[in-house]
């Protein structure tokens, strides 16, 4: 198999485990956990304070397995995903392998545009060492290619 083929071959689909959005009015505002979100092409999550404000960071995703790794580094039993301020938690799929690829999640199609690096807020939210624990584990940023609804339990696979 060629490398190009290998880069588009996954063992199985991922699964949406958790969803959220930020209604605003400020960037430090509350994160609202929900069972379903709707994303709009080229704009982002409907109802999110950032909808339409970025061309490359409309939706953020993080791997459930990375949240577990961060919690172990910080010697915590678990970490509430809301503290990480990402929109979608996915399990069972290496999100970092989706670089520049389009993928289907629920009814929507997203495209990875980059890595979601941690900000200084992680130190505040997770405690001492939180920022460094999140480095390399912050997830990905995406744009919306096709509008649609995303629900907890939806599969995540290449489009």
The number of domains in the chain is 1
Q: What is the mean pLDDT of residues 59-80?
A: 98
Domain residues for the domain of 50 are 3-158
pLDDT of residue 136 exceeding 70: yes
Total length of the chain: 159
pLDDT of residue 155 exceeding 80: yes
In the prediction, which pLDDT does 27 show?
65
In the prediction, which pLDDT does 51 show?
76
152 DSSP 8-state letter: T
Task: Return the residue matching tokens 């999640």.
Answer: 105
Cα separation, 99 vs 47, whole angstroms: 26
Other CB atoms within 10 Å distance of the CB of residue 133: 22
Alpha carbon distances (Å) from 57 to 20, 24, 42, 145: 15, 16, 10, 12
Segments of 2-122 assigned E as strands = 14-21, 32-34, 36-40, 44-45, 59-63, 88-91, 102-105, 108-115
In the prediction, which pLDDT does 6 show?
83
CATH classification of the domain holding 102: 2.40.33.20
In the prediction, which pLDDT does 13 show?
92
């Amino acid at each position: 198999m060629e490398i190009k083929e290998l880069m588009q071959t996954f063992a199985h689909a991922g699964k949406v485990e958790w969803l959220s959005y930020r209604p605003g009015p400020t960037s430090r505002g509350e994160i609202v956990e929900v069972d379903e979100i709707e994303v709009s092409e080229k704009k982002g999550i409907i109802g999110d304070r950032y909808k339409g404000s970025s061309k490359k960071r409309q939706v953020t995703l993080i791997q459930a397995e990375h949240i577990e790794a961060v919690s172990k580094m910080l010697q915590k039993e678990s970490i509430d995903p809301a503290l990480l301020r990402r929109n979608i938690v996915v399990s069972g799929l290496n999100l970092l392998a989706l670089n520049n690829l389009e993928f289907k999640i629920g009814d929507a199609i997203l495209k990875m545009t980059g890595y979601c690096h941690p900000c200084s807020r992680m130190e505040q939210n997770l405690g001492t060492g939180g920022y460094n624990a999140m480095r390399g584990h912050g997830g990905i940023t995406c744009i919306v290619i096709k509008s649609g609804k995303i629900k907890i339990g939806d599969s995540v696979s290449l489009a």
